[in-house]
Amino acid sequence: MEELYDRAARLVACLKEKGWTVTTAESLTGGMAAAAITSVPGASRVLGFGFVTYSPAAKMKLVGVDPRLIEEYTVVSRPVAAAMAQGALKASGAHLALAFTGLAGPEGGTPDCPVGTVYIAAADRTRTWVCRESFGDPGRDEVRKRSVEKGLDLALMLAEDRLPPAGTWTEENG
């Protein structure tokens, strides 16, 4: 967990310097990203909200995901991850949001969306970036940990303005 702490510490420091706040909308990670952030002293200055949106109903109610997106694309999809991040921004008033949706396993995979498939979104008030990760099936805890590591890295890249100014990142890994 030292890797998570180090990543979270870099993000918290960057957000403090910018005067920004962050929120999370977490499905498969179940609050692990918010927990990583709150493990850093002074995190209360940057994290005000963390949404655990494990079920489709929670995604719709807490962060406003349109049920038509879930029907058309499923909860494990690029559009739903983006909507989770954008909805968390709106619900919290934060400057930056981080969202996770995916399949940690061991059940639930399909040939088109196997266990270990994760969509991670980071959004600020002008842009949303989503990446798709294929972690394989190294075990439920490892998929969740790797997801949060990648998410914290993505949030830091967005906060440090190291991503292009507009659009949706379409990186495919795995």
Average pLDDT, the chain: 93
53 alpha carbon, distance to own chain's centre: 11
Is the bond leading into 114 cis (omega within 30 degrees of zero)?
no
Q: Is 18 inside a domain boundary?
A: yes
Q: Is 144 inside a domain boundary?
A: yes
- Specify whether the CB–CB gap between 102 and 110 falls below 8 A: no
**Averaged pLDDT for residues 1-19:** 95
Q: Is 172 inside a domain boundary?
A: no
Q: Which pLDDT tens digit goes with each residue over 19-31?
A: 999 999 999 999 9
**Averaged pLDDT for residues 132-149:** 97
Q: Is 170 inside a domain boundary?
A: no
Q: Is 171 inside a domain boundary?
A: no
Q: Any residues with CB less than 8 A from the CB of 97 and at least 6 apart, and which?
A: 22, 23, 24, 25, 84, 85, 86, 88, 89, 121, 122, 123, 124
The first and second tokens of residue 99, run together, are 């969202």
Instruction: Place 172 in a pLDDT band, splitting at 50, 70 and 90.
Output: very low
How far apart CA 52 and CA 145 sit, in angstroms, is 16
Element (H, E) at 124: strand 117-124
Q: Is 140 inside a domain boundary?
A: yes
If you search the block for the tokens 């963390």, which residue do you land on?
Answer: 50
Domain that holds residue 103: 2-159
Strand-pairing partners, residue 134, are 117
User: How many structural domains does the chain have?
Assistant: 1
How far apart CA 167 and CA 86 sit, in angstroms, is 14
Q: Which pLDDT tens digit goes with each residue over 75-96?
A: 999 999 999 999 999 999 999 9
The first and second tokens of residue 166, run together, are 């507009």
CATH of the domain at 57: 3.90.950.20
How far apart CA 110 and CA 42 sit, in angstroms, is 42
User: What are the helix and strand counts (H, E) for the chain?
Assistant: 6, 5
